[in-house]
């Protein structure tokens, strides 16, 4: 029996993880669940899975959750700081980080320090502070098991391979809804167009990131930390069908790919079960349905975010933290119709130039960088 805590239980990854857990009641028990403001779904999940603790970070929803769960024996906490309590809860074996954004940083740090294995969906945390998280994980004997489909693919390809055998990896990208478009087209796209991902149904933030290729940029940085690679060893290849989830090229020239239908339940299922592989009834891939699998070079001139992410990775220090924070602000602004699609990259680039560079940041430096970048990005959006 594995005891699992889900940070961000009410989201796209969180709800799919609970579906996986529900299908395997003999393998998993839920210890704690958290949400930001979706009180009704959190309560429904709590009544179904009977965790010890639920956290609602939006304090105005605390009383409603508390009332709905009265008599259930489930402890209810509110506020952002309570995420850390869920992350370190005694008896938890694994924390699934399915929050969106750098709000995941503190609870992930605390979970790792408390020796909890991490099933990592919340890529922003690794982008912001990859050196800190991976160092802490090594020191505390904690496993970081990727949930992101591309990284799960690489991770699966590496099982049984000797350390140091990777020559390079290829992260596949669907290209999103605007694949093949040019900047004059992108200038006028709306949020509703950007929210229509061709292959995956996901939360709003990552869907916009997929349309702008920032998601792939964040994933390049995520891969650097998960697999200890240099920027030159990480390539992005556009693969519109999202069947090959990523590839590893080894030092003898051999390549391995992991494939499957685009369904997040599969990498979630793999991460929760790791190091085991457990049977599932997920729909199987059929070659007949996919007579063609295509691969193209990524267009980093049109989709500048990917280029900016590589630049941030090469620069290192707090630069990935800066692009992540700026990106969180501009994606929100785009979702509120306050900024155009292409202007997102302009604001991110201005923040990369405008925020002070720190070569070896501490946790506090990261938190401050995140805060200052949000202020600057917000000012630039308002202008
Ligand atoms: P969603 O927006 O669907 O869900 C986010 C979850 O986190 C919800 O439970 C939400 O609560 C909670 N949350 C959001 N903001 C905060 C906050 N400020 N404080 C506390 N809790 C918060 O996101 P996804 O599930 O799509 O993505 C989660 C993470 O997984 C992201 O980092 C994403 O990049 C990554 N990922 C997602 C994939 C997908 O298929 N969705 C694929 C690969 C990676 P509430 O519901 O109450 O708002
Ligand atoms: Mg991904």
Q: Whose CA is nearest to atom 46 of ligand 1?
A: 10
Instruction: From the CA of 204, give the closest atom in ligand 1.
Output: 2
Rounded Cα–Cα distance for residues 323 and 339 (Å) = 17
User: In the prediction, which pLDDT does 304 show?
Assistant: 98
At residue 105, does pLDDT exceed 90?
A: yes
* pLDDT 10s digits, 55-103: 999 999 999 999 999 999 999 999 999 999 999 999 999 999 999 999 9
CB-based contact 176:251 (threshold 8 Å):
no
Give the pLDDT of residue 76: 98
Residue 283 is encoded by which pair of tokens?
């729909």
For the chain, give the percent of residues with pLDDT over 90: 98
* Assigned domain for 297 exists: no
Per-residue confidence band for 159, with pLDDT thresholds at 50, 70 and 90: very high
Distance 201 CA to ligand 2 centre (A): 12
| In-domain check, residue 166 | no
Residue 32 predicted with pLDDT over 90: yes
Distances (CA, A) of 292 to 101, 239, 242, 260, 265: 35, 11, 12, 14, 24
Q: Is 103 in the pocket of ligand 1 (CB under 6 A)?
A: yes
Contacts of 138 (CB under 8 A, 6+ apart): none
Q: Which of 146, 170, 200 is the last residue of a domain?
A: 146
* CB 209 less than 6 A from any atom of ligand 1: no
Q: Ligand 1 centroid to 42 CA: how many Å?
A: 14
**In this model, does residue 52 exceed pLDDT 90?**
yes
Whose tokens are 């929760």? That residue is 272
Q: How far is the CA of 373 from the centre of ligand 1 (A)?
A: 21
ipTM: 0.99
How far, in Å, is the centroid of ligand 2 from the Cα of 64?
35
- Would 125 be classed as within a structural domain? yes
- Is residue 302 in some structural domain? no
Q: Is 122 annotated as a binding residue?
A: yes
Q: What is the pLDDT of residues 297-341, one digit of tens each?
A: 999 999 999 999 999 999 999 999 999 999 999 999 999 999 999
**Ion ligand 2 — residues with CB < 5 Å:** 148-150
CATH at 349: 1.10.1740.10
- What is the per-residue pLDDT for 298? 97
Per-residue pLDDT at 43 exceeds 90: yes
Q: Is residue 236 situated within a structural domain?
A: no
Distance in angstroms (rounded) separating the CA atoms of residues 75 and 69 = 8
- Tens-place pLDDT, residues 272-293: 999 999 999 999 999 999 999 9
Q: What is the CATH number of the domain that holds 52?
A: 3.40.50.720
103 C-alpha to center of ligand 2: Å?
Answer: 19
The CB of 52 under 6 Å from ligand 1? The reply is no
Taking the model in full, what pTM does it have?
0.98
> 254 burial class (0-12, 13-18, 19+ CB within 10 angstroms)?
exposed
Please give the pLDDT value at position 226: 98
Residue 158 has pLDDT above 90, yes or no: yes
Which ligand is nearest the CA of 213, by number?
A: 2
Predicted confidence at residue 200, as pLDDT, reads 84
**Which has the closest alpha carbon to 380: 339, 331, 328, 320?**
339
State the total domains in the chain.
2
Ligand 1 binding pocket mutation candidate from 9, 20, 36 (most atoms within 8 A of CB): 36
CA distance 222 to 151: 8
321, part of any domain: yes
Domain boundary residue among 146, 173, 197?
Answer: 146
Residue where a domain stops, chosen among 112, 146, 180? 146
164 found inside a domain: no
Say if residue 111's pLDDT is above 90: yes
198 confidence band (pLDDT: 50, 70, 90): confident
Residue labelled with tokens 């405008």: 354
Domain contains 341:
yes
**Residue 340, annotated as binding a ligand:** no
Domain residues for the domain of 22 are 2-146
- The tokens for 145 are 């098991």
């Amino acid at each position: 029996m594995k005891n699992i805590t889900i940070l961000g239980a009410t989201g796209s990854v969180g709800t799919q993880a609970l579906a996986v857990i529900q299908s395997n009641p003999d393998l998993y028990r839920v210890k704690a669940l958290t949400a930001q403001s979706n009180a009704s779904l959190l309560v429904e999940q709590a009544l179904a899975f009977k965790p010890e603790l639920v956290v609602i970070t939006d304090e105005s929803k605390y009383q409603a959750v508390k009332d709905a769960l009265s008599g259930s024996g489930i402890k209810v906490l509110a506020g952002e700081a309570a995420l850390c309590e869920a992350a370190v809860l005694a008896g938890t074996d694994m924390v699934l980080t399915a929050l969106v954004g750098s709000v995941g940083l503190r609870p992930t740090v605390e979970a790792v320090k408390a020796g909890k294995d991490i099933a990592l969906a919340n890529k922003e945390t690794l982008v912001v502070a990859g050196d800190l998280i991976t160092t802490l994980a090594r020191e505390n004997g904690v496993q970081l098991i990727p949930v992101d489909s591309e990284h799960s693919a690489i991770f699966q390809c590496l099982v049984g391979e000797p350390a140091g055998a990777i020559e390079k990896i290829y992260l596949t990208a669907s290209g999103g809804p605007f694949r093949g478009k040019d900047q004059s087209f992108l200038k006028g796209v709306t949020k509703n167009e950007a929210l229509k991902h061709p292959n995956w149904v996901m939360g709003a933030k990552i869907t916009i990131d997929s349309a702008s290729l920032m998601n792939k940029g964040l994933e390049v940085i995520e891969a650097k930390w998960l697999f200890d690679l240099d920027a030159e060893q990480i390539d992005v290849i556009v693969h519109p069908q999202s069947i090959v989830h990523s590839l590893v090229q080894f030092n003898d020239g051999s390549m391995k790919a992991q494939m499957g239908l685009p369904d997040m339940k599969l990498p979630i299922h793999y991460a929760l079960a790791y190091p085991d592989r457990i049977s599932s009834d997920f729909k199987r891939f059929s070659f007949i349905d996919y007579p063609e699998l295509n691969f193209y070079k990524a267009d980093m001139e049109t989709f500048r975010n990917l280029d900016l992410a590589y630049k941030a990775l090469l620069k290192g220090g707090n630069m990935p933290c800066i692009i992540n924070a700026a990106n969180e602000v501009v994606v929100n602004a785009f979702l509120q119709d306050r900024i155009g699609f292409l202007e997102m990259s302009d604001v991110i680039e201005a923040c990369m130039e405008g925020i002070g560079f720190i070569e070896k940041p501490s946790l506090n430096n990261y938190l401050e960088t995140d805060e200052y970048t949000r202020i600057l990005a917000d000012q630039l959006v308002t202008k």
